[in-house]
Structure 1
């Protein structure tokens, strides 16, 4: 190939790169915790949804504890809410156990699967991971959808 042709192709590639707005560049997803796929597979939930949930809840920070305005508490990498503590205790899971990343991911996959049993494999089930309140449910599902779009996992 002639040097001028190579230079023109390189210039065209640079121009194309510069004129494509950053909003269409897919951000790489953050690294998944080692047991995320195992937890998703065990409870038969989509690992990408689970990954987006932990990104939304804590940006992958396993030791997160958040006190909410309603005085409930979200614990661990997937933000398991204290309203679930009594039910989890029946399964031998204590609140402090939720600070373990793998325990938290198995619980979050279990919680997501329970919502899917109620609402089917739907965005409503994804939103119900966060809230049963319709407006909060819809907003959360949109947020998870947007994260997946940003990572280039879905295109709609």
Structure 2
């Protein structure tokens, strides 16, 4: 097992808030710090505790997931590395070599489970990434995931959760369910410290 640290730079205040599954709004470290600053009771103690651990998590990942691929992709596409891991957890449990057949006849490929009717087609036709690389090469699958996710978030006007849902499906019932799965995987990793 290797450890991936999530220490992305904190966004400027005020933090952008994105609705989480179930319409709860995840509170960013900046928001916790801001609340501590305006809450009169034990303000200094709360602020120092929050600042020390703001946005920092360590997650053990299996050897099959190279940390340099996760961290490099996260930096390249300005994404949270734990978000990439959460999607890999939901899609394939971080395993290569997987081809899943869908009821509509399309396939989902590799660790990122790119659908042959959507992202797999874009990546193989437009960007000439070999289909086999999306299936068997963890680093290629992670880089392609970063590209696809950043594209979806940008097309959603910067809405993180909508972009994540759109990465999976634009069908509302699948979209919402997927957001919940990714959010759950993210929470589990931050609490347990394991992939």
Task: Tell me the TM-score normalized by structure 1.
Answer: 0.74
Structure 1 segment 13-92 matched on structure 2, within 5 A: 30-31=61-62, 32-34=65-67, 35-83=69-117, 84-88=119-123, 89-92=125-128
More strand by share: 2
Asked whether the 8 Å contact 1:62–1:77 carries over to 2, the reply is yes
- SS of 2:108's partner is strand
- Runs of 4 or more, structure 1, over 4 Å off, are none
- SS of 1:129's partner is helix
In structure 2, runs of 5+ residues without a counterpart are 1-58
Structure-2 separation of matches of 1:64 and 1:126: 21
Structure-2 separation of matches of 1:96 and 1:65: 10
Note the C-alpha offset of 1:29.
Answer: 5.3
RMSD: 1.6
- SS of 2:122's partner is helix
1:97 alignment partner in structure 2: 133
More helix by share: 1
| Count of matched residue pairs | 126
In structure 1, runs of 5+ residues without a counterpart are 1-27
Provide Cα deviations, 1:93-120, integer angstroms capped at 9, x if missing partner: 1211212111111111111011111111
Task: Tell me the TM-score normalized by structure 2.
Answer: 0.60
Asked whether the 8 Å contact 2:109–2:120 carries over to 1, the reply is no
Structure-2 separation of matches of 1:115 and 1:129: 6
2:152 alignment partner in structure 1: 115
- SS of 1:62's partner is coil
- SS of 2:190's partner is coil
Asked whether the 8 Å contact 2:152–2:164 carries over to 1, the reply is yes
Note the C-alpha offset of 1:121.
Answer: 3.6
